[in-house]
Amino acid sequence: MDEKISGKQFLMNVLNGLAIGAVVVLIPGALLSEIVKALVPNMPSLAMVAAALSMSNSMMGLVCGTMIGMNFKFNPIQSASLGLATMFASGAVQINEGSLAIAGTGDIINMGITAAIGAAIILWIGNKLKAYTILVIPALLLVVVGSIGRLLLPYVSMITTVIGQGVASLLNLQPLIMCILIAIIFAILIVSPITTVGIALAISLAGVGSGAANLGICACGFGLAIMGWNVNSKGTSLAHFIGSPKMSMPNVVKKPATLIPIIANAACCGILASLFNIQGTPMSAGFGFSGLVGPINHLNLAAGGWSFMNIIITLIVFAVAPIAFGILFKYVFTKVVPVVTEQDYFLNI
């Protein structure tokens, strides 16, 4: 740990930790949440499982901080301490009249900033503390770094608010243009440290705007899985749309051109959102295909509900179309106009 770390490597360690941590905590809910919700009324014992899934989401700060520590090859005490500081600064830990409550995932941008500050301090201290590491590091990071992150939280959260206001301005555009732009923006946001769910809630994104946002995320998830299918493990590829495309965030930072096929896919899916009047709510926008939240909410809101035709349309727009466009634009942008290669999408998990 005494060896020098370049600025680029420092940034990639933080981004990789955020990306992997986010996927780890979101995967359980993505796989099981909608199924459990449907079964709980008839199987009350599953309420414990639902609580576990909710808890997993709220532990994002702890897991991301720990993952970032592991990327820096910190020892277990340092990594766990970094996780605690990041968790406290995330915003998921809420203080109300002296009582603590944990809710939501927290602000992932603030997690990254807090973890970066903590990692820099650990690198600066190095192994100087020796046997006193267990006494000093946990308290230092939780009290000092965690408090700094907590103080920064309201200001960092303004980033999400400003982006939300920008997206909200699109809602006044002609519906087709609005759907295309929202789909593209959410496809980009889902591979950034910005929380798409937070943006959607901040501007109460509903109706066809919510549907377009979900299809943009589907385009990103399926598109990234297809682009990296031959260079990543199948589990890693599937996790892009079953869990979250955020796991490819480091690749996007290293080479922004990797988003070109995704943007093209999202634009086409945005057109479908407008043509088929794909619906959603502020709570469902930002999930995409993950946990089937997007498809299920559209079926609940669509005229005619769970009719055979609506199910077919939902299957086409949420899965078949993003996959077909993903294959098409993979060919276009790796063969016809070769701006990216499959290796650009490789993830070292």
237 Cβ partners below 8 Å, 6+ apart? 225, 226, 228, 229
Report pLDDT for 160: 82
The reported pTM is 0.83
- Domain residues of the chain, as ranges? 7-157, 173-345
CA distances to 86, 185, 266, 313, 317 from 211, rounded to whole Å, are 33, 13, 12, 13, 10
Nearest to 302 by CA among 270, 329, 330, 280: 280
pLDDT in tens, the chain (349 residues): 556 788 889 999 999 999 888 888 888 887 787 788 888 888 888 899 989 988 998 999 999 999 999 999 999 999 999 999 999 999 998 887 777 888 888 888 999 999 999 999 999 998 787 778 788 999 999 999 999 999 999 999 888 888 888 888 888 889 999 999 999 999 999 999 888 887 887 788 889 999 999 999 999 999 999 999 999 999 999 999 988 899 999 999 999 999 999 999 999 999 999 999 999 988 788 888 887 888 998 999 999 999 999 999 999 999 999 999 999 999 999 999 999 999 999 998 7
149 CB burial (10 A radius; 0-12, 13-18, 19+): buried
- Cα–Cα distance for residue pair 259/87, rounded to 1 Å: 30
Report pLDDT for 131: 77
Q: Given the structure tokens 């609005």, which residue do they identify? A: 178
3-class secondary structure per residue, the chain: CCCCCCHHHHHHHHHHHHHHHHHHHHHHHHHHHHHHHHHCCCCHHHHHHHHHHHHHHHCHHHHHHHHHHHHCCCCHHHHHHHHHHHHHHHCCEEEECCEEEECCCCCHHHHHHHHHHHHHHHHHHCCCCHHHHHHHHHHHHHHHHHHHHHHHHHHHHHHHHHHHHHHHHHHHCCHHHHHHHHHHHHHHHCCCCCCHHHHHHHCCCCHHHHHHHHHHHHHHHHHHHHHCCCCCCHHHHHHHHHCCHHHHHHHHHHCHHHHHHHHHHHHHHHHHHHHCCCCCCCCCCCCCCHHHHHHHHHHHHCCCCCCHHHHHHHHHHHHHHHHHHHHHHHHHHHHHCCCCCHHHHCCCC
Sign of the C-alpha dihedral computed for residues 29, 34, 39 and 44 taken in this order: positive
Backbone phi, psi, residue 93, to 5°: -85, 115
